[in-house]
Chain A
Amino acid sequence: MRFAVIVFPGSNCDSDMYQAIEDVLGEPVDYVWHEDDDLQAYDGILLPGGFSYGDYLRSGAIARFAPIMKQVEKAAQEGKLVLGVCNGFQILLEAGLLPGAMKRNDSLQFICSTETIIVENNQTPFTLEYEKGEEIQIPIAHGEGNYYCDERVLEELQANQQIVFRYKKNPNGSVDDIAGIINKQGNVLGMMPHPERAVSEILGTTDGKRLFQSILRYWREHYDS
């Protein structure tokens, strides 16, 4: 399975993401610059954390129009697996690939801490290796992770099991304790917690590993003939 890590000006978790794929999965992975416009060769698209375009205007607002995003949208439509973490999640929201929007954390503080995350849905390509209801330790690091959507969208997310991760103790004010959501088709996941920072003992937790292992397992079961 070949992975692309999209690099925007201001991305700063791109090498963590790259390392996670290399170390955990040992699969081929490339950095793909935001001005490129071809993702044909890739099976998994990863949008890393950081501060694309300085988070000017709103986080993700400018990155969403980078040339590569047309290809990310195309890949999503084709059913390829797309994962956006932190700023990557914000970009997916701005691009309309996932519903809702991000607001400033309700404390107004940038929060950098390891949170207990509940796996609400383990029937997605990203969570197959977890138990439903399992509590995992994954770090967060964000100033704008206060997920918002209106009542109607929330009901839809709940009804379709699109809420994949919840915070056990809501750190930022997110609606319904949402930490991560998936699209209706089930191939685009956005999450604020950083699984790529939770892949080795030295980082304090390895609970993020199984997210990447799930992706590979899913892909092998479906595409690797």
Chain B
Amino acid sequence: MFNAKVYITLKNGILDPQGKAVKGALQSLGYDEVNDVRIGKFIELQLNTGQREVAEERIKEMCEKLLANLVIEDYQYQLEEVAS
């Protein structure tokens, strides 16, 4: 079994209104070092498969089909084998 952690963020160069608002809030709290904030999504999945390559291929497909909208978003994932 694999545990997959999927991170989805807006593509670089696409203005992130939420990130901008949070950056403003952090700076007004005195965290002047905050240069940029990007807000995204974190999705955790458990995959019932034994092979890493299969899991990898399937998770990519899931990201591109449903989990991320590639017009505006990028995705990354981490796969970790767990005991079933």
Contacts and interface: CB of A to CB of B under 8 A. Distances in A.
Interface in A105-133: 105-108
B66 interface: yes
A171 interface: no
Chain B binding surface SS class: mixed
Interface of A: 57-58, 61-62, 65, 94, 99-101, 103-108, 146, 148-150, 173
B71 A101 contact: yes
Interface residues of B, number: 12
B67 A103 contact: no
Interface in B31-68: 41, 66-67
Contacts of A106: 15, 17
A149 B17 contact: no
Q: Most chain-A Cβ atoms within 10 A of its Cβ — which of B14, B66, B69?
A: B69
By Cβ-Cβ distance, the 5 closest A-B pairs, closest first, are A101-B71, A101-B72, A106-B17, A101-B69, A104-B17
B17 A58 contact: no
Nearest to A150: B71
B26 interface: no
B15 A94 contact: no
A173 B60 CA distance: 31
B18 A57 contact: no
